[in-house]
Structure formats: C-alpha cells, structure tokens
C-alpha cells in the first residue's frame, strides 16, 4: 500500500522536503552562493519550504544581506504575474470530464466528504472538478495546527520593497505536469488513505520532525526522514525532481550571467547527485554554503 504522507509532503509542499542522495560533507545551510565560470558577480540559491507555521519561520541575517545584493528574484514560478497565476488556477482542475465522486466508491466518498466538512468546513459537492492533489492542500492547516505562511511570499514582499523584478524558473503548466505524473486515481487513493486516523497521526508526527530538521538546516537528516517513507515510483520522482532540476540549469546559467539573482525554490531541489548544487558544479560553477 502506498503511503499518503510522503505524497502529501512531496506534492502539496511541491517537493520542499524530499531529498535524493545527500552527502554528509555538505554544510548545514539552506543558502548557497554561486560564483565563477565567467560570472561577474555571485548569485544565490535558497532552499524553501512552501508552508510553515509562523512560530517555525526563520530568516537568517545572511539571507537578508545577500538578497539585498542581488538585482532580481527567481521563484519556481512567477507568482507576481497575473497570467501565470491564471494558468496555475486552470491547472488545478481535472479537464477530462472526471468528477471527484467517480474516483471513489460511494462509501469511501462519504468518508472523505465527511472528513473535509468536519475538518476544514469544505463541502466537496462544490469542488467536484478540482484535482485530489489540490484538495489535499486544504488539509495542511489542520495537519500543521496553524495557518501556514511561505518563504515565497516573504521573498516577494522583499522584492517589492527593494523594487526587484520577480520571475519564474518554469511555467505553472510545467510544474503541474510534473505533479500530475502521479495520476488522478492515485491522488484519490492517497487522499482516502491520508484521512485514516492512524495515517493522520503519523503524518502529523512526520511533519513535526521534518520541520524541525528544516529549521536545523540538516539536509542529511531530512533525507533520512523521508527515505523511511515508502516510494511512489521512480518515474514520478524523476519527473518531480530530476527532470525539473535539469530543466532549470540552463535558465540559472543564463540569468546569473546577466544579473546577480536570488533563486528561491523548494529545498528538495538542492541536494543529491541530480540536485541543483551538483549540476551547477558539473557546469563549472563554484557553489558554496553561506552561514
């Protein structure tokens, strides 16, 4: 049986806390300086988590200092572009005529509907064409016990204050295509498993541990946390991480050569043999941790 908790963390947080192979010699930091290979000035990579409680949110002084040095901000997608946000909204819906009810047996659908109504006061009758993956995101405040905030929103506010342009490494369609590799039916199956009392309790415990390790900036511990949870298939994880990382490298190279840039994206994309850090080093860049 697949484990819905990993799916929840990978998909709803857009892979912020999933790691492939992490090397112990890497520093415990989420901020990395990119220099060399013809760059006239450094750029920076920062690993985010897209949803975190206010009490756990932290911003080191080095982040503010180095953000100030840069000329523009690149997120995974351009959250400052109304057209991009419109495209993202469209991508949240099933387009093949399927409805949520058709993905469950009648008894299972009633279980899911009751859970959503009791937990987040959401009537599923009114959201029948929204993908299960997106509906699961409605449950994040209940699982975390707070109204989560995001680093992306924080960096966008900094960019606005400092009159910096905001851009995206990929389009909303690119991002949703990677997430959709899971398949609609598997998303629904994961939703049903997730609301099981035992799985829900386990999910809360895992989320607490993962956030703790994120706050400690411990990539190795984060990898160990997530590696203990069952796999969803190499094709899905390849599409979600490896393929996107490779697609981002030409963009990062071009952008960093033109302007000093602050890149902020899910921290799961930083580490591993196919992570952004390793890929940029293979291209000849110096990538160093910043404390």
- Work out the mean pLDDT of the chain and round it to a whole number: 86
Q: Are 211 and 16 in contact (CB under 8 A)?
A: no
72 vs 17: which has the higher pLDDT: 72
Q: Which one is predicted more confidently, 205 or 22?
A: 205
10 — pLDDT class (breaks 50, 70, 90): very low
Confidence (pTM): 0.87
Tell me which residue of 21, 8, 14, 11 sits closest to 219, measured CA to CA. Answer: 21
When mean pLDDT is compared over 70-79, 214-223, 267-276, the highest value belongs to 70-79
Enclosing domain of residue 212: 4-290
What average pLDDT does this structure show over 173-191?
87
- With a pLDDT cut of 70, the percent of the chain lying above it is 85
Q: Which of 235, 233, 244 is nearest to 275 (CA)?
A: 244
Structurally, the chain folds into a number of domains equal to: 1
Beta-strand pair 43-48/31-35: antiparallel
What was the pLDDT predicted at 90?
Answer: 87
Q: How far apart are CA 183 and CA 202, in angstroms?
A: 24
Specify the 3-state DSSP secondary structure of 269.
Answer: helix
Return the higher-pLDDT residue of 3 and 177: 177
């Amino acid at each position: 049986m697949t484990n819905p908790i990993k799916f929840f963390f990978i998909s709803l947080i857009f892979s912020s806390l999933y790691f492939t192979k992490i090397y112990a010699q890497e520093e415990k930091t989420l901020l990395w300086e990119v220099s060399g290979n013809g760059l006239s000035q450094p750029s920076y990579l920062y690993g985010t988590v897209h949803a975190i409680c206010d009490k756990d949110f932290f911003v080191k002084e080095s982040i503010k200092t180095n953000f100030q040095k840069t000329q523009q901000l690149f997120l995974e997608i351009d959250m400052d572009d109304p057209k991009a946000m419109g495209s993202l909204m469209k991508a949240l819906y099933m387009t093949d005529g399927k409805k949520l009810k058709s993905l469950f047996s009648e008894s299972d659908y009633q279980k899911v509907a009751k859970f959503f109504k009791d937990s987040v006061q959401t009537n599923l009758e009114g959201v029948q064409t929204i993908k299960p993956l997106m509906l699961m995101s409605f449950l994040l405040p209940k699982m975390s016990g707070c109204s989560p905030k995001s680093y992306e929103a924080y960096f966008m506010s900094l960019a606005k204050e400092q009159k910096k342009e905001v851009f995206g490494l990929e389009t909303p369609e690119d991002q949703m295509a990677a997430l959709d590799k899971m398949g609609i039916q598997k998303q629904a199956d994961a939703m049903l498993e997730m609301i099981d009392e035992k799985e829900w309790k386990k999910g809360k415990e895992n989320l607490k541990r993962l956030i703790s390790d994120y706050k400690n900036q411990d990539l190795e511990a984060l990898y160990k946390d997530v590696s203990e949870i069952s796999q969803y298939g190499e094709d899905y994880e390849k599409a979600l991480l490896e393929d996107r990382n490779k697609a981002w490298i030409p963009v990062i190279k071009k952008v960093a050569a033109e302007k000093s840039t602050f890149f902020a994206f899910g921290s799961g994309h930083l580490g591993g043999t196919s992570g952004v850090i390793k890929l940029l080093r293979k291209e000849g860049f110096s990538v160093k941790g910043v404390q």
